[in-house]
Structure 1
Amino acid sequence: MPHADANSPTPLTIRLPDGRLLGLTRYGNPAHRAVVFHHGFGSSGLELAADAALLARLRLQILAPDRPGVGQSSVYRRLTFPSFADDVVAMLDALEIREPVGVMGWSVGGVHALALAARHPARVAAGQLLSTCLPLGEPAAYRHLSPLWKALRWGQVSFPWLNRTTFLWLSRQWQRHPDRTIDWFIRLMFPAEKTVTRRWRALLRDAAVQGFAHHGRGVFDDAQAWCRPPGFLIEDVRAPMRLWHGQADGVWAPGNIPYLAERLGGAPLRLLPGQGHMLYLENWAAILEEMAALLG
């Protein structure tokens, strides 16, 4: 592993028990309390703003693992929410982190955060779900999906070859023309997401380039896992959870987020007026301060 620098993000690679590699980015001082951040769909652990001073003040470190097929992480076609939760625990063991950690998840990363808390309750002290989604393959949650998300799930399940081809094409665009590709995505976004993505353009561009590594294989496998039965129960989460969601979220509308909060035992929910799917970037200091309080 490279020498850890508390003032800049540090790339690390862990050898998992089955021989696969797991890549991650560490933000902050490795001597501080650990928080695991689960990245969004089609992105990677590089999607976080590096704020060494804030992390030092709060005495936190962020560990942002890349899911299989993302960045330096090996492809694992049998990816499930429980299998990646197990990978994260193996990562914590390899880093000799025994104390229960905080967990965060942005977008579909929120479902991975829930899986970690449900499957390994002794390893999670508290969690935050940031612009999170629901598990598309759970019958109870499926009834709460919008018609658009039901259609997207149907397409992923019914025509996997078409989605595999699409993600392969997108991978080539991100690798060959990253600037042109992110500008194309920005033009397609809703206003709230467009504003924030323009502000954080370089960071999100580089995160997506790593997200679509391995010819887009990891993105496809992540989508497949999202559409299958999740393999855990939301009600099994015992750690205190906090939800953050934007009222102007153009990717995952907030209508079913109170339903998710209720399944988490009435977890506190912040609905932020005028903010969209990228709200974690705009509220990073407040989110970390809340996490530090939860862990404190």
Structure 2
Amino acid sequence: MYLPLQNETIVLADGRILGFAQSGDPEGRAVFHFHGLHSSRLEAVVVHEIVKEAGIRFIGIDRPGIGLSSFQPGRTILDFPSDVEALADALGIEEFSLTAVSAGSPYLFACLHKLPRRVSSCAIIAGVPPVLELGVDKMPKESRIFISIAQKFPWLIHPLFWFHYGRLSRHDSDAERFLDHIIRTLERVDHLLLENRDTREVLLQTFRESYRQGSRGVACDGIAVFAKPWGFSLEEIDFRPVRLWHGGKDNGVPVQLAESVAERLKGAELTIYPDEGHLSIVFHHFQEIIHALQTDDHGFQR
């Protein structure tokens, strides 16, 4: 098997298709990765060289209705661990590590809650908090507006996401506007990343893929993360360590929220990079994050 493989699928027991991408070392220790909002399994391909050098088999999973994965009506965050477990079983993986970026974090927490015996180590990067518990006061204005609409008028999110993002994702001529809509609330350090044409192109491909089926899946993902109870509390998670990595200049998810999450988690270890933003932390520190993941993984052969 040669990696990366960008367009892999399996059929789940209920007939749904689950899409995933693999990068890194095909013989390496398995790490499942959970993408952010407006993103997709292709995040795994972005870090191919880093995970290959580290000897990791890195597997990004599309959530329902996103990328290659079938839509799942009425799904909740706690439904996702069973999809992860089914994929692990299909690939012959007994134990695995987890990484999550931004809005992928509640799905990682859900796996720690429901599959703790199968998880060997984990890392959450620029993670989203349970805003229904912690409040939205520290979130940027645009996020507060979105969360308010998602809570009061969830039926509006689907057409809003289509108007602001989905329709622009379809055509190359609108691609630059699509990317600018997604990153407009982020810090200057994140915008500087996108001055590199290669970085801009790979992120654009990753983000556009999330709208392959339209905006329904992405809208439901955003509602589940930001506007509904997750179905468990952070205090219920009994896993050590839960490594949190966050940028001090993260405008998307301010660092104070990461500190609040760390206070609620029994096994939290929070690392803050004062000068990094919501995206730049991944591009500048992913190698270090992966090294810590391997250090925590007792099954990794050094």
Q: Structure 2 matches for 1:215-294, cutoff 5 A?
A: 215-226=214-225, 227-235=227-235, 236-278=237-279, 279-294=281-296
Residues 164 and 113 of structure 1: is their aligned pair in 2 closer, same or farther, counting only changes over 3 Å?
same
2:202 is aligned to: 203
1:111 is aligned to: 106
Q: Structure 2 matches for 1:52-71, cutoff 5 A?
A: 52=48, 54-71=50-67
Could you tell me the TM-score, scaled by structure 2's length? 0.88
1:162 is aligned to: 156
Residue 49 of structure 1 and its aligned partner are, at CA, apart by: 5.0
What SS is found at the alignment partner of 2:88? helix
Partner amino acid for 1:182? Answer: L
What SS is found at the alignment partner of 1:215? coil
What SS is found at the alignment partner of 1:108? helix
Find out whether 1:123 has 2:125 as its counterpart.
no
Conservation of the 8 A alpha-carbon contact between 1:114 and 1:237 = no
Partner amino acid for 1:248? Answer: K
Q: Structure 2 matches for 1:146-185, cutoff 5 A?
A: 146=139, 148=141, 149-169=143-163, 170-176=165-171, 177-185=174-182
Q: Bigger shift: 200-209 or 151-160?
A: 151-160
Distance 1:261 1:291 in 2: 17
Distance 1:30 1:56 in 2: 9
Find out whether 1:46 has 2:47 as its counterpart.
no
Q: Bigger shift: 153-162 or 112-121?
A: 153-162
Distance 1:237 1:17 in 2: 29
Partner amino acid for 2:27? Answer: A
Q: Deviations over 1:255-296 (max 9, x none)?
A: 121221122225221110211001112212111111111114
What SS is found at the alignment partner of 1:245? strand
Distance 1:29 1:128 in 2: 19
Q: Deviations over 1:66-86 (max 9, x none)?
A: 001111100112221111111
Conservation of the 8 A alpha-carbon contact between 2:66 and 2:213 = yes
Q: Deviations over 1:207-242 (max 9, x none)?
A: 111111211111111012112110123222424211
Conservation of the 8 A alpha-carbon contact between 1:23 and 1:72 = yes
What SS is found at the alignment partner of 1:45? coil
Residues 184 and 16 of structure 1: is their aligned pair in 2 closer, same or farther, counting only changes over 3 Å?
same
What SS is found at the alignment partner of 2:190? helix
Distance 1:213 1:53 in 2: 26
2:213 is aligned to: 214
Partner amino acid for 1:107? Answer: S
Could you tell me the TM-score, scaled by structure 1's length? 0.90
Distance 1:163 1:258 in 2: 29
What SS is found at the alignment partner of 1:198? coil
The RMSD of aligned alpha carbons is 2.1
Partner amino acid for 1:203? Answer: V
1:5 is aligned to: 2
**Identical pairs, percent:** 28
- Which of 15, 21, 27 is the aligned partner of 2:23? 27
Conservation of the 8 A alpha-carbon contact between 2:186 and 2:250 = no
What SS is found at the alignment partner of 2:58? strand
Distance 1:257 1:51 in 2: 24
Residue 96 of structure 1 and its aligned partner are, at CA, apart by: 1.2
Residues 107 and 11 of structure 1: is their aligned pair in 2 closer, same or farther, counting only changes over 3 Å?
same
Distance 1:184 1:233 in 2: 32
What SS is found at the alignment partner of 1:103? strand
Distance 1:184 1:123 in 2: 38
What SS is found at the alignment partner of 1:55? helix
Q: Deviations over 1:154-174 (max 9, x none)?
A: 211212233211112221110
2:86 is aligned to: 90
Residues 187 and 38 of structure 1: is their aligned pair in 2 closer, same or farther, counting only changes over 3 Å?
closer
2:74 is aligned to: 78
Q: Deviations over 1:5-46 (max 9, x none)?
A: 13x344310111110000000112332111111000010111
Conservation of the 8 A alpha-carbon contact between 1:144 and 1:256 = no
